[in-house]
């Protein structure tokens, strides 16, 4: 075969190849393997948060056992933040989530129910009954549950779609139920929880940022802007000594004003899964 003819024969397939290259998107697609590293980093971070949660909760236990009411109260919200940060993946350990963070509403006898346990049981004793009395066993059980959580996390399979979906679901939950003030009803430390929930979702967005940027730089910009907006809202209520003012000091109108920006953030976060091809 002559060289010319050989060339003519090869030409159509070469054209098909060039055509395929031209029609491919300019940005590289996120390959399933690309998500492994950020998820591994996320798991390490969750481990660190759980470690801090354990240490600070042990501090509450010590204060309760020493009868130091004010100290135990002061440690409540900062300790909880470490738990609220990892809440995007709480459904992966739902049994422990229930004993650590359940609310009185889930029990037939509400606060009087002997099965009522965890942070909110401590909160009820410390802030509503204004006493450390009878709380030592509750506090010990909470520490045991956190230790169990720590062990669980080491071997936990963390599916990327659960992490990414969990960030959006948590922020949606803040807008839907937490803004009403149902979570920390005895201590009124709700804003600490909001801040921690936002930080927990933000961590996930930040770890995935390089991948999301490949797919949709605009979505990254929008999520960043939403986080900044919500952060500014929370900043308004920062307490001079660190932490936040009591949620009692946030008017109903101001609470409702938070809903819009928080919802907008949840909505954009909910687009991450599809954008990253995680179904
Ligand atoms: Cu919670």
Tens digit of pLDDT for each residue in 122-155?
999 999 999 999 999 999 999 999 999 999 999 9
pTM for the predicted model, two decimal places: 0.89
Contact by Cβ (8 Å): 100, 83? yes
Q: How far is the CA of 44 from the centre of ligand 1 (A)?
A: 21
Going from the first residue of the chain to its last (279 residues), give the mean pLDDT of each consecutive group of 10, the final group possibly shorter. 52 51 53 93 98 98 98 98 98 98 98 97 98 98 98 96 98 96 97 98 98 97 98 95 95 93 98 93
Q: How far is the CA of 38 from the centre of ligand 1 (A)?
A: 24
Q: How far is the CA of 84 from the centre of ligand 1 (A)?
A: 5
Q: Whole-angstrom Cα distance, residue 274 to residue 222?
A: 16
Contacts of 235 (CB under 8 A, 6+ apart): none
Q: How far is the CA of 26 from the centre of ligand 1 (A)?
A: 42
Helix (H, G, I), strand (E, B) or coil at 238: strand
The token pair at 24 is: 């491919």
Partners of 244 in the β-ladder: 238
Residues with a beta carbon under 5 angstroms from ion ligand 1: 101
Tens digit of pLDDT for each residue in 192-228?
999 999 999 999 999 999 999 999 999 999 999 999 9
The residue count of the chain comes to: 279
Helix (H, G, I), strand (E, B) or coil at 212: helix
Q: How far is the CA of 99 from the centre of ligand 1 (A)?
A: 11
The token pair at 73 is: 């109260």
Rounded (5°) CA angle 245-269-45: 70
Q: How far is the CA of 158 from the centre of ligand 1 (A)?
A: 19
């Amino acid at each position: 075969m002559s060289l010319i003819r050989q060339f003519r024969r090869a030409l159509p397939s070469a054209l098909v190849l060039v055509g395929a290259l031209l029609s491919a998107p300019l940005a590289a697609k996120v390959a399933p393997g690309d998500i492994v590293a950020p998820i591994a980093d996320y798991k390490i971070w969750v481990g660190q948060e759980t470690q801090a949660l354990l240490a600070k909760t042990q501090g509450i236990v010590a204060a309760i056992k020493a009868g130091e009411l004010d100290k135990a109260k002061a440690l409540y919200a900062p300790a909880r933040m470490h738990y609220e940060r990892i809440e995007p993946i709480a459904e992966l350990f739902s049994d422990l989530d229930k004993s650590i963070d359940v609310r009185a509403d889930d029990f037939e006898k509400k606060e009087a129910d002997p099965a009522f346990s965890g942070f909110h049981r401590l909160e009820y004793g410390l802030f509503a009954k204004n006493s450390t009395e009878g709380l030592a066993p509750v506090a010990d059980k909470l520490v045991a549950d956190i230790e169990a959580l720590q062990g669980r996390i080491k071997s936990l399979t963390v599916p990327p779609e659960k992490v990414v979906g969990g960030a959006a679901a948590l922020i949606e939950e803040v807008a839907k139920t937490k803004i009403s003030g149902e979570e920390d009803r005895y201590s009124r430390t709700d804003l600490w929880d909001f801040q921690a929930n936002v930080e927990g979702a933000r961590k996930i967005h930040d770890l995935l940022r390089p991948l999301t940027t490949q797919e949709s730089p605009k979505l990254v910009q929008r999520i960043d802007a939403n986080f900044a907006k919500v952060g500014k809202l929370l900043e308004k209520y920062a307490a001079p000594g660190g932490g936040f003012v009591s949620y009692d000091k946030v008017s109903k109108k101001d609470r409702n004003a938070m809903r819009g920006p928080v919802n907008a953030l949840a909505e954009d976060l909910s687009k991450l899964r599809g954008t990253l091809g995680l179904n």
